[in-house]
Amino acid sequence: MAARAVVFGYGEIGVRCLGALLDAGVDVPLVVTHRDDPAERRWYASLFDFSTERHLPVLADPPLAEIEGQLKNLRPDLIFSFYYRSMLPMPVLRTAKLGAYNMHGSLLPKYRGRAPLNWAILHGEKETGVTLHAMVEKPDAGGIVDQEAVPIGPDETAVEVFRKMTEAAETVLRRSLKKLISGKIETRPNDTSKGSYFGRRTPEDGRIDWSKSALEIHNLVRAVAPPFPGAFAGSMKIYRTSLEENKQPPSKTLGPYREGADWFAVCGDGKVLRLLEVEEA
């Protein structure tokens, strides 16, 4: 008899991981996702559309009482959360006979919480990854089932790294699934005291402070580059930059300046940043 799993998910990783479950013959009697916000710039696949195309029962932002009622009737073996945007309460998690597991976008225990990839790039990390872990009451704190690291290049943007993370998430799930279904999974400790936690980011967090170092500003631009809202200074939006290690600033005045058709900026550490892609209002 096929294992039965209820999936909570959203976006590209939700689609890829649900596809991996179906490929493995897992019975998915319910998918729970979020409505696609028409005001949000959507650059990823729709889990709602994918589920509908596969003729799977799918709910978008249902009330908690409806979710709990469905799960009591379905009695799933497993619950998965693949980039679902809401915490699942313990009464929901307890309905899974073999456990409930989340795919998180960092190498836990580092970067627990929201927008882990963006925070990792902002802080200049050279690698990140994905972690499949047991869900418990505290966010991103359950035992670790498996992880896969991906490198972050010095000029890579968040969406470029995210594409690698999507592949890694599917790899981790396929690698772990047999043990999860057997109920004989062993987890590693997730020592949150040795990690970090970050909250959600807003478009305002993309505001550039030219008193920061060139590297810090370069990392900010990479972290929020489109399809995210983008970095900005006044009415100028800056989408891609490069470090100019050998270029001397024309003055000590901080901020953007122009040389012919090219844009540069003087940063707080006296170094120059080339502004490769800008949008002027």
Q: What is the chain's pLDDT, residue by residue, as a tens digit (281 residues)?
A: 799 999 999 999 999 999 999 999 999 999 999 997 776 666 778 999 999 999 999 999 999 999 999 999 999 999 999 999 999 999 999 999 999 999 999 999 999 999 999 999 999 999 999 999 999 999 999 999 999 999 999 999 999 999 999 999 999 999 999 999 999 899 999 999 999 999 999 999 999 999 999 999 999 999 999 999 999 999 999 999 999 999 999 999 999 999 999 999 999 999 999 999 999 97
* Residue 150 exposure: Cα atoms within 13 Å on the Cβ side: 24
In the prediction, which pLDDT does 202 show?
Answer: 92
Closest CA to 274 of 266, 206, 158: 266
In the prediction, which pLDDT does 95 show?
Answer: 97
Q: How far apart are CA 26 and CA 17, in angstroms?
A: 12
CA distances from 279 to 232, 238, 263, 275 (A): 9, 6, 11, 10
Please determine, looking at this structure, whether the domain spanning 4-198 carries the CATH number 3.40.640.10: no
CA distances from 19 to 23, 56, 168, 171, 177 (A): 6, 12, 14, 12, 13
In the prediction, which pLDDT does 44 show?
Answer: 79
Taking phi over 0 as left and psi of -120 to 50 as alpha, with beta for the rest, 229 belongs to: alpha
Please determine, looking at this structure, whether the domain spanning 203-280 carries the CATH number 1.10.10.10: no
In the prediction, which pLDDT does 43 show?
Answer: 73
Residues 225 and 218 sit within 8 Å (Cβ to Cβ) = no
Where along the chain do the CATH 3.40.50.170 domains lie? 4-198
Where along the chain do the CATH 3.10.25.10 domains lie? 203-280
In the prediction, which pLDDT does 70 show?
Answer: 95
In the prediction, which pLDDT does 205 show?
Answer: 95
Q: What is the pLDDT of residues 132-177, one digit of tens each?
A: 999 999 999 999 999 999 999 999 999 999 999 999 999 999 999 9
